[in-house]
Amino acid sequence: MMFDPRLILALAVWIAYPNHCLGQYHINPPKTIFPDLELPSDHKHTATVFEWKNLQYGFPSEQEREQLIRDGRYNPDSPIPIDIDVYYPPNGSPPRHFVTSPRFGQGVPFSLAYVTNVQRENGSEIQAYPSYQWHSSHGANCDGLTSVYRIHIDACGQMWVLDSGEIEFVQHCAPQVVVFDLATNQLIHRYRLPETSYKAKVSRFVNIFADIRDPPPSGQCKDVFAYLADPTSKAIVVYDVVGQSSWRIENKFTYPDARFGTHSVAGESFELLDGPLALAVTPLGLGLRRHLIFHALSNELELAIPLDILNNATNWQKGFSSSLSDFVTLGRRGVQCATHAISRQGFWFCGFLEPIGIFGWDIRRPYDRGNVQPLALNPVTLQFVSGIKIVRRPADGQEELWLLSDRLQKIFAGTIDYGEINYRVMRCDVEDLLQGRVCF
Ligand SMILES: *[C@@H]1O[C@H](CO)[C@@H](O)[C@H](O)[C@H]1NC(C)=O
Ligand SMILES: *[C@@H]1O[C@H](CO)[C@@H](O)[C@H](O)[C@H]1NC(C)=O
């Protein structure tokens, strides 16, 4: 596996002048950190798989659509897509694409959906998953789904769903983890968070990463620790699936940094002082002590904590002062990036706010300016990458990077124009990205 020669040159320069460059890392504004960058001129193939001007919901009937519009439970311009994940059925049938659109406001008919082949006026139609009934109580039935921010599909075809339980920031139901078997679309597991694992009226659960410790072909995806991001209460929750318990991690490493509370994208900005958002574990089989790599949305720091420390509840009984010396500060990026993903070979990917693009890092190298490198820049299509996943393609075993971009800054600023494409689902082979064959 080789990086683009441009990247290798940058790395060589960094090794030759380590102190100089580390110094610059702190002093330079983000724009000048990557001076040699060129926009890709050669787009091999189009990476956009789905695009929307606004999300196009499908309903069980036309009457239902009209009723919801009358009730204020569907406002076509209210929903915002946040996350994407993809499932390749083992029998070789076509992949299924899932998107989420949390209930920030009242006008979101359902928050977990799959994308259909039906083309509507402003983009592909989405349909409720696993069924419309799971969503139609709008918070009245806590056995359904109230508001889903993000999902994680594992190697056994299980979809891990994190439901925040809120509508328009009012807690209707306890936050919950719900797992569906994608082969049968059946509920196979549910865990409602106990009151000790969240802060009522403060918590907002927005991201989940399920670490499968017994993957196929030999394992059954039963030995799982799931990590949940709660940026508003500034915590990570560890959920021990086998032990049926959960605990909170909240300390100075999970806090935002006020200097990164302003998020600027393409000339517009918004304020968010959010804690943990990005979660991913270092892969099995690299021969390294395994870590959770994470960061707060409103912070430039990239951090890690060993899984053996994280997964033992005894280590977290002292609140803010628990296990502090086990946290590793990997480095600083000088700018925010939202969610991230790590490939099987140990390459990390995140969508930077400035310059607007996907950056990559080999987790075996220091997290610094020479090693955290742009792999694809596109100031139009990559505005606020709020969902990013790595999916193994069964046909040839290659990994694909999937992302969803949603121009969140325009939603906050009220400048979104539904006459143009605002939301995109895009895909690129991990190997193509690493070799400089840009497709975004
Ligand atoms: C959990 O950590 C405690 C100390 O913090 C240690 O005594 C105990 O053996 C650990 N448990 C496991 C299962 O490793
Ligand atoms: C599609 O977008 C146009 C332009 O913003 C809007 O007027 C129309 O209502 C949208 N249609 C649907 C079905 O969302």
Query: Residue of the nearest CA to atom 5 in ligand 1?
Result: 315
Bridge partners for 226 per DSSP: 210, 239
Q: Is the CB of 315 under 6 A from ligand 1?
A: yes
Q: Would you say the CB of residue 196 lies under 6 angstroms from ligand 1?
A: no
**78 alpha carbon, closest ligand:** 2
In what side-by-side order are the strands of the sheet with 158-163? 148-153, 158-163, 176-181, 186-192
CA distances from 56 to 80, 105, 108, 180, 404 (A): 11, 16, 11, 24, 16
Hey, whose CA ends up nearest to atom 9 of ligand 2?
Answer: 76
Res. 438: pLDDT tops 80: no
> How far does residue 123's CA lie from ligand 2's centre (Å)?
10
312 lines ligand 1 (CB under 6 A): yes
Q: In terms of C-beta density within 10 A (0-12 exposed, 13-18 middle, 19 or more buried), how is residue 344 classed?
A: middle
Q: How far is the CA of 194 from the centre of ligand 2 (A)?
A: 42
What mean pLDDT is predicted for residues 377-393?
Answer: 97
Per-residue tokens: 360: 């990559």
| Tokens standing for residue 157 | 């075809």
Overall average pLDDT of the 418-432 stretch: 96
Q: By C-alpha distance, which of 102, 163, 108 is closest to 386?
A: 102
CB of 317 sitting under 6 A from ligand 1: no
Average pLDDT of span 359-366: 97
- State residue 437's pLDDT score: 83
Structure tokens at 343: 């490939």
Bond preceding residue 94 cis, omega within 30 of 0:
no
- Output the pTM of the full model: 0.90
Give the residue from 36, 11, 135 showing the smallest Cα distance to 355: 36
What's the pLDDT at 138?
98
Res. 46 pLDDT band, cuts 50 70 90? low
Distance 75 CA to ligand 2 centre (A): 11
Q: Does ligand 1 lie within 6 Å of residue 314's CB atom?
A: yes
Q: How confident is the model at residue 17 (pLDDT cuts 50, 70, 90)?
A: very low
The rounded Å distance from CA 343 to ligand 1 centre is 30
How far apart are the CA of 79 and the centre of ligand 2, in A? Answer: 13
Return the residue matching tokens 């020479």: 370
Measured distance CA(292)–CA(249) in Å, rounded: 12
> pLDDT (tens digit, 9 = 90+) per residue, 290-346?
999 999 999 999 999 999 999 999 999 999 999 999 999 999 999 999 999 999 999
Query: Within its chain, how far is the Cα of 39 from the centroid?
Result: 25
List of domains in the chain: 5-434 (2.120.10.30)
Instruction: Tell whether the model's pLDDT for residue 23 goes beyond 70.
Output: no
pLDDT at 177: 98
Q: Is the pLDDT of residue 13 over 70?
A: no
Q: In the structure, what pLDDT confidence band is assigned to residue 9 with cuts at 50, 70 and 90? A: very low
CB 438 within 8 Å of CB 365? no
Residues 16-45 have a mean pLDDT of: 34
| One-letter amino acid for residue 313 of the chain | A
**Is residue 371 within 8 Å of 359, Cβ to Cβ?**
no
Residues in CB range of 131: below 8 A, 6 or more apart:
185
Nearest to 193 by CA among 173, 218, 172, 167: 173
